Structure 1
């Protein structure tokens, strides 16, 4: 049975073209990417040991081995952080004994006050599971047509994978789907992420499971929305992490071009809203 650590190493290895590391093309292969033997050589470990890690038969490689694998795979800073995280999950170092459960939906009053200061901007409070915990009227203005806010406890990840409207509303649906699944690895806790993935997988199906097991951090690009009234909106996103005790983040959407800024202003003139905290 595989492990998060083994799955990530194998997924990253499969995504690398040997020529990018200056290795010769050895002809047609049954599987894509970097050969296990080549990675083992670059990391200074045996092929047999690397096989045990990838197959989940060795769940506790040393920090030196983890760092050697990170160097051998030429991981960037985000990927290195993820490698260390899945190594902890695999070894059981950060998994407690309590029963998996959803995280708290409480948003501190000072965070709600910060949202108020951002009015009439487009901003919301979320966690890595995708729960929409509070938002500005600007966010409601932009997202109202999507259907995301129709449920009592909106969740962006669930919406992306289970609501057919999401594939139209998000111009780059594949990018958003990759972002939401990768964020689960950074969830409020290993237990809550495990709980949420188990809840969502039967509804979202193979599309969700395949992306979750891929482990590769997606690039951060502008968010493009196909709004039915004002057409395409393009946003830059600033994500501000709140204290770990909150396990939440404040996300601010900023117009990526003048057309988006003008379209949003037209929406504001057509309707108005107030700050709404969702508990």
Structure 2
């Protein structure tokens, strides 16, 4: 049985173009990227050892081996962090099918975090976790998300919305990019137990669109978030994320207009909404 660590290494190996490393590309090459033997040679380990890691038969590679594999795969900083994280959870044996009790993440938001959110008004901002729960938001966020289906749920969740609500495919200009981001974020918490619980809940509804992204383990590139607003047409946002203390396992995400047209459209939305009550999302 494989592991997330083995899945990641195989996916990273497959995406490498051999010619970029000075390796010959001939008709007899039967794999899309780097051969296992080529990666083992570059990392200075045996093919047998690499095979055991990829197949999940060796769950405790040393830090020096992990670093050597990262170097051999030419991973960037974010990918190296993810590789170390997958090594940690594989070493602990906590992954799909583990015996530890799965449980949903807490939806509580500290009063101090809510005060910070109030100070951000009229910005477009929300409190979330890596599962995608929308735990609290500014009036500006509700204004932008009005009528698209996300906040109408009893417990709004961005990841569930992306994978199960047909409106999401119209709302997001690049749905695949957003889906990749949401699936990748699941590996980052809030905890292994909550990730397992959420994946178990979502997989029967999302199907292959979720599972093939979970097993790919490739870090999505940073990109502008484009949405198709019901009345303001296309809006484009840069995203800034403030990580809250580890005990919270939450983030504050702020959407900033990425161009002048979006900034103008946001002001028009605010002008139109003045005097109209907005519902606050509560945990």
Which TM-score tier does this pair reach, normalised by the shorter chain? Answer: over 0.9
User: What is the SS of the residue equivalent to 2:176?
Assistant: helix
Of 233, 254, 257, 1:255 maps to 257
Residues 1-279 of structure 1 correspond to what in structure 2 (within 5 A)?
1-92=1-92, 98-271=100-273, 272-274=276-278, 276-279=280-283
Aligned 8 A contact 1:136 1:274 in 2: no
Structure 1: tracts of 5 or more residues without a match: none
Separation in structure 2 between the aligned mates of residue 155 and residue 29 of structure 1, nearest angstrom = 44
Separation in structure 1 between the aligned mates of residue 255 and residue 134 of structure 2, nearest angstrom = 14
Separation in structure 2 between the aligned mates of residue 86 and residue 46 of structure 1, nearest angstrom = 21
Q: Deviations over 1:52-90 (max 9, x none)?
A: 111111111111110110011011100000000001111
Separation in structure 1 between the aligned mates of residue 116 and residue 185 of structure 2, nearest angstrom = 24
Q: CA deviation at 1:97?
A: 6.2
User: What is the SS of the residue equivalent to 2:226?
Assistant: strand
Q: Which moved more, 1:93-102 or 1:111-120?
A: 93-102
Q: Deviations over 1:132-189 (max 9, x none)?
A: 0000010000011211001110000000000000000000100000000000010111
Q: Which moved more, 1:189-198 or 1:133-142?
A: 189-198
Q: Which moved more, 1:228-237 or 1:269-278?
A: 269-278
TM-score, structure 1 normalization: 0.97
User: What is the SS of the residue equivalent to 1:123?
Assistant: strand
Q: CA deviation at 1:18?
A: 0.5
Separation in structure 2 between the aligned mates of residue 207 and residue 277 of structure 1, nearest angstrom = 28
User: What is the SS of the residue equivalent to 1:146?
Assistant: coil
Separation in structure 1 between the aligned mates of residue 191 and residue 227 of structure 2, nearest angstrom = 30
TM-score, structure 2 normalization: 0.95
Separation in structure 2 between the aligned mates of residue 27 and residue 103 of structure 1, nearest angstrom = 50
Q: Deviations over 1:247-274 (max 9, x none)?
A: 0000000000110011011111111445
Q: Deviations over 1:189-243 (max 9, x none)?
A: 1111111111111110011100011000001111000112111000000000000
Aligned 8 A contact 1:184 1:193 in 2: yes
Structure 2: tracts of 5 or more residues without a match: none
Between the two proteins, the alignment pairs up a number of residues equal to 279
Q: CA deviation at 1:20?
A: 1.2
Q: Deviations over 1:8-51 (max 9, x none)?
A: 00000001001111111132433311111110000000111111
Coordinate RMSD, CA, aligned: 1.4
